[in-house]
Amino acid sequence: MVLTETTQQPAGSDFLREIKDSPNQSLLPLTATVNAQDHLEIGGCDVTELVQIFGSPLYIMDEHSIRTGCAQYRDGLANNYSGQSLVIYASKALNCLAICALVADEGLGIDVASGGELYTALQAGVDPKKIYFHGNNKSRAELEQALACHCTVVADNWLELKTLAELAPGKSPRVMLRITPGIECHTHEYIRTGHLDSKFGFDPNQVEEVLNLLRNTPSLDFVGVHAHIGSQIFEREPHQDLAGVLVNWLKRASELGLPPQELNVGGGLGIRYTEADDPPSIGEWTATVAQAVEQACQQAQINLPKLICEPGRSLVGTTGVTAYTVGSCKEVPETRTYIAVDGGMSDNARPITYESVYRSLIANKMSQAGTETVSVAGKHCESGDILIKEALLPPAEPEDTLLVMTTGGYGYSMASNYNRLLRPAMVLVHEGIADVIIQRKTYQDLINHDRLPERLSSNPSTTL
């Protein structure tokens, strides 16, 4: 996808007009302002000064925006659903100690998809009773890890159920079934997980057999069903349809002697990457889901289960940005101009992976309008390392601070050390204070787990 900017691109400060009450609908964090130096501030911190202090690339997360999103999800379900509810943060979007602790402080649970994510959540102090372990190929060791901490396991396949049954005697793990609902959404092919041709979940034709297995395996504590129909979804109808599908499975489970306890509708609410994006607000989404589940339960004549949802990107995506330092500039006559920054595909893999489109601005020139169409290039040894193919920016100079918006989700979590670039630091900003929540990696970190066979070792000629 090639983004074609128009010549009406506003000044950086005009992006502040795109800030909405719901974090997922804003292009910048809710606390974004412009100070007297014409610099962008987030969380009361000057972005350009943050780069001077902590270096770049630099991930910047706004605590107020994250807490606001958590509260809107939590209160949205509570106010629109007559039964119990729980919001679980899908931590694959951004999993680190501080973010796990922050959302837990807001009363949310945590959705993890690996032993590493589970370990991080536990170390952050998250209550295991609020941790749900996902994944389509959990290892035996990971299942043992889940049983040891007594979190809920979202079983994805027959092998997991068989392994859990072997490990379960005396432990009675809470087990939720992930089922493929067969619901299509208008989103990127790679992030559609609800249609039948998916690596995730049990096929609907297998549900009866799986439920019978659970009925005959008392060592496994069946607690409910789960489905996820994809991500970056702007439509509401698929979530309404999903409610009916899940409730029908709960009703069948009840008929087989497995009384329904929980219903997990997954996540998937989209966020705003460009001005053209128009996702529902968090409040609108939670109201849609809660009402759909209640109506489906009334029609099926079953008691209301505990309603669970799993937002990820919509909690952290727009609440985070990435700040870079501008370096070289290359003009290709009658073709394009490249402006290079000191990061790229190693700190944001989404443009090269999904052809994702982002908006950018010069954080130290907020009042200047965009007058030059450029390609924002990363510094990796790859022609495809382009963060933004066509961005209309003010004239950029070396040492300017270029900021890319809405990178809080799947920036750090998909980052790498390609070309042995150092993974960036991350700061959490709040009321003028910036706390480092992920330290910048060092060159020594790069080689800490390398091993040099003795036959190849020699004294390095230069020490840096």
pLDDT tens-digit profile, the chain (464 residues): 233 333 445 678 889 988 899 999 999 999 999 999 999 999 999 999 999 999 999 999 999 999 999 999 999 999 999 999 999 999 999 999 999 999 999 999 999 999 999 999 999 999 999 999 999 999 999 999 999 999 999 999 999 999 999 998 888 899 999 998 876 544 433 333 444 566 788 888 888 999 999 999 999 999 999 998 888 999 888 888 899 999 999 999 999 999 889 999 999 999 999 999 999 999 999 999 999 999 999 999 999 999 999 999 999 999 999 999 999 999 999 889 999 999 999 999 999 999 999 999 999 999 999 999 999 999 999 999 999 999 999 999 999 999 999 999 999 999 999 999 999 999 999 999 999 999 999 999 999 999 999 999 876 655 55
Domain 12-62+317-447: which topology? Lyase, Ornithine Decarboxylase; Chain A, domain 1 (2.40.37)
Residue range(s) occupied by CATH 3.20.20.10 in the chain: 64-316
Which one-letter amino acid corresponds to residue 133?
Answer: F
Residue range(s) occupied by CATH 2.40.37.10 in the chain: 12-62+317-447
User: Ramachandran region of residue 41, left (φ > 0), alpha (ψ -120 to 50) or beta?
Assistant: beta
Instruction: List C-alpha distances in Å: 144 to 138, 171, 221, 449.
Output: 10, 11, 16, 26
pTM over 0.95: no
Residues 6+ apart with CB under 8 A from 428: 61, 63, 98, 102, 434, 435, 437
Catalytic option among 45, 96, 100, 381: 381
Dist CA 353 CA 351 (whole Å): 6
The residue written with tokens 């510094």 in the block is 379
The yes/no answer on whether domain 64-316 falls in CATH 3.20.20.10 is yes
Task: Return the SS3 of 205.
Answer: helix
Q: Would you tell me the crossing angle of helices 158-167 and 207-215 to the nearest 10 degrees? A: 10
In the residue annotation, 381 being an active-site residue is answered as yes
Dist CA 165 CA 426 (whole Å): 41
Dist CA 397 CA 372 (whole Å): 12
